[in-house]
């Protein structure tokens, strides 16, 4: 089992920045690909960004490309999401998730989420 705890959400004005963190309670963090997802009120959960277990490869949703950066520190069992140039449409609950390298793309473990609110 992997427990994930997100932090760093909050209220920010449009154009501002936030950095989300997700701490994982596992000794095998480096064997998991990590992803960030978000869910806005009344909408389905959507993919935001992902990073491979080694940090060598990242991917982003088109809506955040060039504004958000995902990174990880395997020594600290933590994955980050740096969010710049925030827009009101980025308002959502943000979740981190873990996918074992054995089953890539299958996110079996999820955090409880952290609220991000961007005011116009």
What would the pLDDT profile of 55-108 be if each residue is shown by its tens digit? 999 999 999 999 999 999 999 999 999 999 999 999 999 999 999 988 888 999
9, 114 in Cβ contact below 8 A? yes
Q: Which two tokens stand for residue 45?
A: 């959960």
* Predicted local confidence at residue 53, as pLDDT: 95
At 89 the three-state DSSP class reads helix
With tokens 């982003």, the residue in question is: 60
* Predicted local confidence at residue 104, as pLDDT: 86
């Amino acid at each position: 089992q992997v427990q994930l705890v997100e932090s760093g959400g909050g209220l920010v004005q449009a154009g501002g920045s936030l950095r989300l963190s997700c701490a994982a309670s596992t000794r095998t963090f480096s064997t998991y690909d990590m992803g960030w997802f978000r869910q806005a009120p009344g909408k389905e959960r959507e993919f935001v960004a992902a990073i491979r277990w080694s940090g060598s490869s990242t991917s982003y949703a088109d809506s955040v490309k060039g504004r958000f950066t995902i990174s990880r520190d395997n020594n600290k069992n933590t994955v980050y999401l740096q969010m710049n140039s925030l827009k009101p449409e980025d308002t959502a609950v943000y979740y981190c998730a873990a996918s074992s390298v054995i089953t890539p793309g299958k996110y079996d473990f999820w955090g409880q989420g952290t609220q991000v609110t961007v005011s116009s």
